[in-house]
Amino acid sequence: MVLLRTQRLILREFEEADWTALHAVESLPEVARYQWFAPRTADESRAYVLGALRGAREQPRVTYDLAIVPPAADRPIGRVGLGVTDAAIGEGMLWYTLHPSVWGMGFATEAGRGLADFGFRELRLHRIWADCDPANVASWRVLEKIGMRREGHLRENARIKGAWADSLIYAILDREWV
């Protein structure tokens, strides 16, 4: 069970009942805009939470998909995740999604930093990376604010909503994490 506290947020394991709060986020077109998935149906949001619960039980655990919860309201406003993409070299991938009502308040940066800190200090990862659509400025700004370095720009390596999309690759190493 992972429970992390940042300055303004709690990052905790999902509970099944969280799916309605997550659905309020994942069903929005502006949330899905730069992601590979379409706005989620209720069934898809519920399946996502159930998948996160399964991931939390796996041994060895490779996926840490956590609910982002403001302490005052025990209701997720989004999610932040870290997946071990290569255990042999200690590499993990970071992702995040928040409800638009809380965009621009630094929450993704705070949550991403909190989970990356867990990745380096507790999981002893060597490298944490992330990718995002170059058009998703808010997302790559978050990665830069976390301290990640832009390592590459892949051209048309993804299909997003039936169109080619580029990807920016960002990463930070354990020795760069302070």
Nearer to ligand COA, 88 or 154 (CB): 154
Nearer to ligand COA, 84 or 146 (CB): 146
Nearer to ligand COA, 37 or 175 (CB): 37
> Which residues are near ligand COA by CB under 6 A?
31, 34-35, 96-98, 103-109, 132, 136-139, 141-142
Q: What is the DSSP letter of 102?
A: G
Rounded Cα distance, 46 and 39, in Å: 13
Nearer to ligand COA, 34 or 120 (CB): 34
CA dihedral 30, 20, 140, 157 (to 10 degrees): -80
Least distance to ligand COA, CB of residue 141, Å: 3
Least distance to ligand COA, CB of residue 68, Å: 9
Strand residue runs (E) in 9-108:
10-13, 63-69, 78-86, 91-98
Least distance to ligand COA, CB of residue 69, Å: 14
CA dihedral 87, 117, 129, 111 (to 10 degrees): 130
Backbone φ and ψ for 49, nearest 5 degrees, come out as -65, -40
Q: Give, to the nearest 10 degrees, the angle between helix 19-26 and helix 42-57.
A: 120
